[in-house]
Structure 1
Amino acid sequence: MSTTNEYMRFFPYDAPYDNQQEAMDRIYNGLSRGQDVVFEGACGTGKTLSSLVPALEYAREEDKTVVITTNVHQQMRQFVTEAREITRKEPLRAVVFRGKGSMCHIDVDYQECQVLRDNTYEVVDTERDKQELERRQSELLEEMQEGDSDAADARSAIMDELEQIAEEVENLRETNICEHYYNNLTEDTGEFYQWLYDDVRTPDDIYEYADQRTLCGYELLKDGMEGVDLVVCNYHHLLDPTIREQFFRWLGRDPEDVITIFDEAHNIEGTARDHASRTLTENTVDSALDELQESDDFRSESGYNVLAAFQRALKTTYEDSFGFGEREQVNENWRDVSIANDDKRDDLTLNFLQEYTGKGIDAELDDALALGKELDQQYEEAYKEGTATTRKECQTLRAAQFVKSYMDEGAELGQYPVVAVRRDDRTDEVYGRAELYTCIPREVTKALFDEVYATVLMSATLRPFDVLSDVLGLTEPVTLAYGLQFPEENRRTFAVETPALFASERGNPETQETIAGVLSDTVRFTAGNTLVFFPSYAEAERYRDLVDARIDENLYFDEAGTPVEELRQRFTADDDGVLFTSLWGTLAEGVSFDGDDARTVVVVGVPYPHLDDRMDAVQDAYDRVFADRSGRDSGWEYAVEIPTIRKTRQALGRVIRSPEDFGIRVLLDKRYTANSVREMGKYSVRETFPPEEREEMIDIVPEKLKFAMLNFFTDEGAWDGEPPTP
C-alpha cells in the first residue's frame, strides 16, 4: 500500500485541504482493491487532485494509464492547468485529446479521412519500395563496373521492377491523398514529440504547431499516445463503444490497464442516453430510394420495396398526428410526435406493417443490407482511386440498418420509439425523423465500468449514491462525500417562502409581483454581483423585464446570440451587477464565480426539465427496472426529482469557492422550506437535499430576506461605502 509520501509526489501544491488527504487515501485504497469509487465533494474543495493524485500513483506502480474526462469545457481547461502543475513537480507524460473534426486541417469527415489516410500510406509505402529498389540497382551498377558478371542480370530484373513501381507510384499519386499526413510519414517528427512532452499541450497548441509545418496534428497525437501516463479527453471517447475500442488501441492498452476518472459525473446519465439513441430522417430514406433506383443489382428491388414502405409509414404517422393548423406551426426545430401505445407496438411500426407488402420484411431488409455494404465499398474504392472527389456515404446501408434495429428492438424494455418533425428552412417543406430513444443509460455505461480496471466518478452532486449506482450499473463502489469545508459563518443559505412556482402559478400577476420584489431586494442588498438562475430562458426574460425597472444595478441577460464567455467576463468585471440565466444553460456548472465575481446566487423555482413524452418513457422504464420495495416512486424520483435537485445544487455551488470566500445562496420557492415537507407532501423537495445541506437552510419569509442579507454582508465588512437602507 502506498504511503502519503509516495503519492504526494503528484500533489503540486504546498498542502491539501483538510479532507483532500483523507479522500486521496480512500481513493488509493479503493483502486488497490480494483473497486470503482463514487466521490462527491462540494464545489471548490479540490476534487480533481483528490482523484487524480492517487490514480496517477497507482497507475505508475502497476503500469496503467489514467484517462480523465469531462463534458464541460471549463473543466477541460482546469485539467490542463492541474496537469501542468503536476509536471512541474513530477515527470509526467500527458496528452489532451480531442476529436478529429476539430483538428482536421482540410475539413473532411471521418470516412473521407480514413480513405485519404489509407491512400496516403499506400503512396508512401510504394515510394519506399521504389527508393529501396533504386538503392539496390545503384549497388548492382557499382558491382557491374567492378566486373561482377552476375550483377548485370540482377540489375536488369531490378530495372524492370523499377519501371513497374514508378508507374504504380504515378498512378497512386493521382488518387486522393492528404499532404499533411504524407508529411507525417515522410519527415522526421521527433522534434514534434519532444515539443509535445516538454509540457502539457492543448489540441489548439497541437493544431497550430502542425498547421505551420503542414503536418496532421491529429494523427501525430494518435501515434504519440502509446505509453503516456495521463490522457485528458471528452466523454464520447469513453461512452461511445466504437470510439472507445479505437481509443484504447491508440493508447496501446487493454481496457483492464486503464483507470478512468469522470468529472461532472452527474452528467453521465444524459450523455450516455444520447450516445445510445439512434435516428433516421425522411431525407436519408429519400436518398436511399434514389440510390436503389440507380442500381441495377437484383437486390435493389427488395431494398426499394421495404424502405419505400417505411418512408410512407413515417409520413403517414406524422401527418396523421397534426390537428387543425398544427402543420403550419412546425418550425426549424425538431418537435416530437407521440407514437407509443400501452398494449401494442408503436404507431410507426403499425403503419409500416400496414403499408408493407412483399416476400417478408426481414428478407428484404437483409437484401438491402447486403447491397448497401457492397455499394459502400464501391464508394470507398472510387474515392480511394480518385475517380470521386468526396467519399460518398451509402444511404441504403444507413437506412436499412436503422429500420432493422427499429423492428428488432423497438419493443424492448428501455427503448422508446419516437417520431419528430421539423421544417426545412431552405425548402419550407416539413419532413420527419424516426428515433429509438434509449431510456436506461446503464445499457451504455455498465459495459465500460466492467471492462476497465476501475473508475472514479466525481462531482459536487452525486448523492443519493444508491440511485446513481442503479442508474449507471455500478456494483458496490467505494463512496465518499464531503460537504463544504470552508467556514460556515462565511455563508448563508435561505429558503424563501414565496409561492410554489408550479406551471399553473407562473402566470399569476400576484405571484410575479412577489417574486420580482424579492429578486429586487436580493440584488439591492447584495454587496457585489448577483447571479440568478431560472427554470427556463423564458422565465429569465420575464423577470428581467419585471426587475429591470426596479433596480439601479447593471443587468446582464444570457440570451441567444451573446457568447456566454464574453457575457461572463463582462459580468465578473462589474462590481454591482446581476446576471439572469437559465439553470439548464452553460453557466450553471463547471464555471467558477470566485470571490468578487458573484456574492449571491439565487435559484428561482424548482427547475424541473420539460416533462414530455420522452421523460414519461424514462420514468416508466425506471419504474419497471428500479422498482423499490419501500414503495418509493422510482420513476419520478430517479428520472426527474433527483437530477433536478442535482442541477439546483450545482447552481448553488457557483459561489463560495475558497476558504476566504463568502456569500449567500437563495432558494426562491416554498417547496424548498421545512414547512413544505409537512404541508406539501410529495411536492416538497427539501428532503431530496443531503442532510448537512438541509441543516444549513434557513427558512425565511420574503419581506425579511433583505434584513438578513444586510446583516450578513455588514458582518462581513463587505459594503463599499454606506449600505443600502431597507
Structure 2
Amino acid sequence: MADTAGHERFFPYDEPYPNQRGAMDRIANSLARGQDVLMEGAPGTGKTLSALVPALAHARDEDRTVVITTNVHQQMRQFVEDARAIAREEPIQAVVFKGKASMCHLDVGYEECRSLKETTRSLVEAERDRKELAERSDALLDDVRAGEEEAAEARTAVVDELEGLEEEIEELEAANVCEHYRANLTRNTDEFREWLFEDVRTPEEIYAYADERGLCGYELLKEGMEGIDLVVCNYHHLLDPSIREHFFRWLDRDPSEVITVFDEAHNIESAAREHATRTLSARTLEGALAELDDADDSRAESARNVIEAFLTGLERAVDDALGFGEREQVGEEWHDLDIANDDRRDDLTLGFLDAYEGDGIDAEIDLALQLGEAIDEAHEEAYRRGETTTRKESSTLQAAGFVADWMGKGTDSGRHPMAAVRRDRGTDEVYGRAELYTAIPREVTEGLFDEVAASVLMSATLRPFDVLSDVLGLESPATLAYGLEYPEERRRTYAVEGPALFASDRDDPKTQATVAETLAGVVGVTPGNTLVFFPSYAEAERYHDRLSLSDTYLDEAGTPTEALRQRFVDADGAALFTSLWGTLGEGVSFDGDDARTVVVVGVPYPNLSARLEAVQDAYDREYGDRTSDAGWRYAVEIPTIRKTRQALGRVIRSPEDFGVRVLLDKRYTRAARDMGKYGVRDSFPPEERDELIDVAPEKLQFAMLNFYADLDAYDGDPPTP
C-alpha cells in the first residue's frame, strides 16, 4: 500500500475544515487499494479538496493523472481556483480542458476540423519533403559538376519526384487548410508549453494567447497534456465512450493510469442517459433519400428500401400517437410521444415492417451502411480538395446507422423506443423524430468505472449509497458521509403541517390561500433575501403574481438566470420565485444575506411522462429482486429528495452563516408517515431527519421570528408578524 502520510503537502490552506482531514485520509487509503469512493458532504464543507488532495498525492506516487469533472460552470471555476492554490504550494502541471467548439478560431464542426487538420498536415509534410528533395537535388548537382557519373541519374530521379511533389502541393494549397494549425506545425511552440504550466490556464486564456499569435490553442493544449498531474473538464469527456478514448490518448495514459473525480455526482445518472440516447429526425431521413437520388450506385435501391420504409413508419407512428387537436398545439420544442406497446414491438417498428418491401432488412441495412460510408468519404475528399466550403456529412450513413441500432437494440433491457414532434419555424410544418432512449445509465458508466484505476464521486446529496452504486454499476465502493458541521444553533429546518400539495389539489382556493399566507409570513420575518422553490415554473409564477410583496423576482423557463441572480443578491429583503427543476437549485451559491431563508413548496416530483415511466419500468425489472417498489424509489422518490436537499443547501454556506430552511407540505412531517410512499420524511438521511421541526402554518413566522431575533439578525426592532 502506498504511503498516504504525505498527501497533505497538496493541501493549499492553513487548516482543513472539520472532518476534512479524516476524509482525506480515508480517500487516500481507498485509492491505495484501488477502491472507488462515494463521498457525501454538506455544502461548504470542502469536498473538492478532500478528494483532490489525496488523489493528486496518489497520482504523484503511482505516476497517474487525476481528471476532475463537473457539469456545473460555477464548480469549474472553483476547481481552477483550487488548482491554482495547490500549484502555489506544490508544483503541479494542470490544464483546464474544454471541447473544440469553444476553442476553435474558425468556428467549424468536428468533421470539418478533422478534414482541415489532415489536409494541413499533408501540405506541411509535402513542403518539408520538397525542401529536403531540393537540398538533395542541389547536393547531387554539385556531384554532377564534380564529375560523378551516377549523380546525374540520381538527380534526374529526384527532379522528377520534385515535379510530382510540386503538383501535389499546388493541389493542397488550393484545398481547405487551417492556417492556425499550419502555424502549429511550422513554428517553434516550445514557449507555449512553458507559458501553459507557469499557472493553471483557463481555456479562454489559451484561446487568447493562441489567437494573438495565429496558432491553434486547442491542438497545442492537446499536445501539452501528456502525462500531466491534473485535468479539469466537463462530464462529456468521460461519459462519451468514443470521446473518452481520444481523451485518454491525449493524456498518453491507459485508463488504468487515470483517477477520476466526479463533482455533483448525483447528476451522473441523467447525464449518462443523455450520452447513451440516440435520435434520428424525419429531416435526416428526407436528406438521406435526396442523397440517394444523386447516388449512381447499385446499393442505392437497397438503402432506399430501408430508409423510405423507416420514414413511413415514423410518420405513421407520429400520426397515430397525436391526440385530437394535439398537432395544432405543437410548438418549436420537441414534444414527446409514447409509441411503445406492452405486448408487441413499438408502433414505429410495426409501421416500418409493414411498409418495407425489400429483399431482407438486415442485408439491406448493411448495404445502406456501406453506401453511406462511401458517400461520407466522398464528402470528405471534396472538402479536403477545396471543392466545397463546408464538410458535409452523409445523411444516408446517419440514417442507416440509427436504423441498425433501432432494429438491433430496440428490445434490449433498459432501452425504450420513443418518438417526438416539433414545429418547423420556417415552414410551420410539424415533423417527427425517433429516439432510442436509454433508461439504465450503468450501460454507460459501468465500463468507465471498471477501466480506470479508481474514482471518487462526491456531492452534497448522494445518499442512499446503495441505490447510487446499483444505478451506476459501482462494485463495493467505500462510503463517507459528512453532515453540516456548522453550529446547529445557527440554523433551523421546519416541516410545515400545511396542505399536501398533490397536483390535483393545487387549484384549491383554500390550499392556495394557506400557501400564500405562509409564504408572505416567511418573507416578512426574514432579515435578508428569501429563495422559494416550487415543483414547476407555473407554480412559481402563480404565487409570484398572487403575493403582493414589494420586491420580488420571477425565474422563468428558458431565460438566462445569472443576471436575475445578481439583481436578486444585490437586493435586500427580496424574494425570488423559481422551479426546483431549474438551474438555481444547485451549484449556485447564495452567501449570507443573499439568501437567509429557503423554502421548498410541495414535494417536487418530476412530471409523469412516458420517459419517466420507462425508467421506472426498467428499474423495476433490474432491481425489483433487491427492493420492493424499486422503480418508484429509484426513479422518482430518491431523485426528488436529492433535488430538495440541494435546494435546502443554498443557505448556510460557512461556519459564520445562519439561516432557515422550510419544507412547506405536510408530507415532510411525522404525521405523513401513514401516507405510504407519499410520506417522504423517512427518505432524508437520519441526521437531517432529526433536525426537522414540525410546525403549523400559522406558527411558522413566530418560530422564525424568535430564531432570528435570538441571533440579533435584525437591524433595529424585529418586524411585527
Q: 1:207, CA displacement in angstroms?
A: 1.0
Q: 1:152, CA displacement in angstroms?
A: 5.2
Secondary structure of the equivalent of 1:198? coil
Secondary structure of the equivalent of 1:714? helix
- Of 700, 711, 720 in structure 1, the residue corresponding to residue 715 of structure 2 is 720
Residues 547-604 of structure 1 show CA distances to partners (whole Å, capped at 9, x for unaligned) of 1x1x33x211212575311111111122221111111111111111112221111111
| Conserved? CA contact 2:2–2:32, under 8 Å | no
2:358 counterpart letter in structure 1 = G
2:424 counterpart letter in structure 1 = D
Secondary structure of the equivalent of 2:433? strand
- Of 657, 662, 665 in structure 2, the residue corresponding to residue 661 of structure 1 is 657
Q: 1:316, CA displacement in angstroms?
A: 1.1
CA distance in 2, matches of 1:448, 1:2: 24
Establish whether residue 619 from structure 1 lines up as the match of residue 616 from structure 2.
Answer: yes
Q: 1:612, CA displacement in angstroms?
A: 0.4
* 1:317-466 alignment, distance < 5 Å: 317-466=317-466
Q: 1:144, CA displacement in angstroms?
A: 5.8
Residues 389-435 of structure 1 show CA distances to partners (whole Å, capped at 9, x for unaligned) of 21111111110111111111111211100011111011000101111
Cα RMSD for the two superposed structures: 1.4
* 1:287-302 alignment, distance < 5 Å: 287-302=287-302
Q: 1:304, CA displacement in angstroms?
A: 0.7
| Conserved? CA contact 2:4–2:28, under 8 Å | no
CA distance in 2, matches of 1:641, 1:181: 51
CA distance in 2, matches of 1:143, 1:316: 79
Secondary structure of the equivalent of 1:18? coil
Residues 115-141 of structure 1 show CA distances to partners (whole Å, capped at 9, x for unaligned) of 000000000011111111223334445
Q: 1:720, CA displacement in angstroms?
A: 1.3
- Of 561, 573, 583 in structure 2, the residue corresponding to residue 586 of structure 1 is 583
Number of aligned residue pairs: give it. Answer: 721
Residue matched to 1:573? 570
- Percent identity over the alignment is 66
* 1:461-480 alignment, distance < 5 Å: 461-480=461-480
Q: 1:2, CA displacement in angstroms?
A: 5.8
| Conserved? CA contact 2:339–2:418, under 8 Å | yes
Change (3 A) 1:157 1:404: closer
Q: 1:147, CA displacement in angstroms?
A: 6.7
Establish whether residue 677 from structure 1 lines up as the match of residue 673 from structure 2.
Answer: yes
Q: 1:158, CA displacement in angstroms?
A: 3.1
* 1:213-362 alignment, distance < 5 Å: 213-362=213-362
Change (3 A) 1:194 1:343: same
Change (3 A) 1:561 1:504: closer
Q: 1:143, CA displacement in angstroms?
A: 5.4
Residues 265-286 of structure 1 show CA distances to partners (whole Å, capped at 9, x for unaligned) of 0000001011111111011100
2:702 counterpart letter in structure 1 = F
Change (3 A) 1:4 1:28: closer
Q: 1:332, CA displacement in angstroms?
A: 1.0
Q: 1:194, CA displacement in angstroms?
A: 1.1
Please identify, of 70-79 and 136-145, the stretch whose mean Cα deviation from structure 2 is larger.
136-145
CA distance in 1, matches of 2:146, 2:231: 58
Secondary structure of the equivalent of 1:40? strand
CA distance in 2, matches of 1:372, 1:561: 37
Change (3 A) 1:400 1:340: same
Establish whether residue 529 from structure 1 lines up as the match of residue 562 from structure 2.
Answer: no
CA distance in 2, matches of 1:665, 1:639: 25
* 1:88-167 alignment, distance < 5 Å: 88-141=88-141, 151=151, 153-167=153-167
Residues 302-322 of structure 1 show CA distances to partners (whole Å, capped at 9, x for unaligned) of 111121111111111111223
- Of 628, 645, 648 in structure 1, the residue corresponding to residue 641 of structure 2 is 645
Secondary structure of the equivalent of 2:605? coil
User: What TM-score do you get using the length of structure 1 for normalisation?
Assistant: 0.97
Please identify, of 325-334 and 18-27, the stretch whose mean Cα deviation from structure 2 is larger.
325-334
2:106 counterpart letter in structure 1 = I
Residue matched to 1:601? 598
Secondary structure of the equivalent of 1:353? helix
CA distance in 2, matches of 1:343, 1:322: 21
2:387 counterpart letter in structure 1 = T
1:293 counterpart letter in structure 2 = D
Q: 1:188, CA displacement in angstroms?
A: 1.2
Q: 1:211, CA displacement in angstroms?
A: 1.3
Establish whether residue 692 from structure 1 lines up as the match of residue 681 from structure 2.
Answer: no
CA distance in 1, matches of 2:157, 2:410: 63
Q: 1:5, CA displacement in angstroms?
A: 5.2
Residues 512-550 of structure 1 show CA distances to partners (whole Å, capped at 9, x for unaligned) of 111111111111111111111111111111110011x1x
| Conserved? CA contact 2:4–2:29, under 8 Å | no
Change (3 A) 1:60 1:4: closer
2:356 counterpart letter in structure 1 = Y
CA distance in 1, matches of 2:4, 2:703: 44
1:565 counterpart letter in structure 2 = E
Residues 606-644 of structure 1 show CA distances to partners (whole Å, capped at 9, x for unaligned) of 1111110111111011001001455x2100000110011
